[in-house]
Amino acid sequence: MNTRFLKLLNKQNILNSLGSLVVSNSPKVFIKNSDTYKCILFTYFNWGNNPLGISEDYLDKRFKIFDKYTFPSVNAQTDKDFTWIILLNGKTPQKFKDKMTEYENSANMCIKLVYVDNYDDNIDEYDNFKQIMKKYFSDYNDKWVLTCRCDNDDMLAKNYIEKMKENFRPVNNMFIDFIRGYNFDICNSDLNSYKCRSNHFIGYVEKFVSKEKLKLVYHCNHAFAKDYGYIRRINNKKYPLWCEIITGTNKLNELQGRSADSYELNYFNQYFVQKYN
């Protein structure tokens, strides 16, 4: 074997051990005591200038889902050492702001409610997000940042944050992609096992250089993550970590996958706060 082939083989062995796919030259991976990081979970709730986001009818329906599925699943995380940043429209009616404050006061982890009044229509959603987040990293002193995301109508397994942290590696510009989860149709009480690469429950690791250079998990469309960085892709068949709630009104989601088998049903009932009967 020639030297070049041996180098490529060694590189592939390293990547296989990580469960990763590479999209460019991968750095060597090892964890040092100095590789400290903070884990942050983001949720866009109703921020932005869309009038629908502050309508009482929309928020009544959305809070029913959030209250029954999303908040309890995040609040039940086995690893509570993370911050949940929830972005909201500053014009949200007061009764819903009060409800959010109730969540904040009763939570088992740190919640930061970010009400946005100065959304700039002249820049895109991500640039608005970056501008808003800069002040929250003004005093940041860890070497790395691990960010992940959950929509306001989704549900996480109790060990989602725990597994996300287990798969942290000090690799700049690396996505953590758990490809196994569930679809739960709450209208028909259907629970499906669902395999989806680059799903919207993806995590993102980056080295902290400055608040101006932060990208965070929203910097690209999750479906095209492979075009933007390394992917640590985990085939978590034995421990599905996320659940899309299908309400019949979802713009993009519909019931997919196959009916959950007995193992998956038992796992769902053990690790998700909403039981399946």
Q: Output the CATH code of domain 31-182+196-237.
A: 3.90.550
Q: What is the pTM of this model?
A: 0.87
Taking the C-alpha atoms of residue 207 and residue 3, their distance in angstroms, rounded to an integer, is 32
Model confidence at 188, in pLDDT bands (50, 70, 90)? confident
Taking the C-alpha atoms of residue 150 and residue 241, their distance in angstroms, rounded to an integer, is 12
Check residue 29 and give its pLDDT: 66
Q: Tell me: the pLDDT tens digits for 157-187?
A: 999 999 999 999 999 999 999 999 999 998 8
φ/ψ of residue 152, rounded to 5: -80, 5
Q: Which of 240, 255, 251, 270 is nearest to 184 (CA)?
A: 255
φ/ψ of residue 267, rounded to 5: -65, -45
pLDDT beyond 50 at 121:
yes
Strands 37-44 and 174-178, by their bridges, are: unpaired
Check residue 17 and give its pLDDT: 44
Check residue 18 and give its pLDDT: 45
Angle between helices 94-106 and 56-65 (to 10 degrees): 20
pLDDT beyond 70 at 21:
no
**First-last CA distance in the chain:** 58
Least confidently predicted of 1-5, 22-26, 247-251 = 22-26
Q: Give the three-state DSSP class for 192.
A: strand
Taking the C-alpha atoms of residue 266 and residue 34, their distance in angstroms, rounded to an integer, is 39
Check residue 256 and give its pLDDT: 85
In terms of pLDDT, which residue wins out, 64 or 277? 64
Q: Give the three-state DSSP class for 58.
A: helix
pLDDT beyond 80 at 31:
no
Taking the C-alpha atoms of residue 170 and residue 37, their distance in angstroms, rounded to an integer, is 9
Task: Give residue limits of the domains in the chain.
Answer: 31-182+196-237
Q: Give the three-state DSSP class for 238.
A: coil
Average pLDDT over residues 94-101: 97
Whose structure tokens read 């796919």? 21
Least confidently predicted of 29-33, 34-38, 92-96 = 29-33
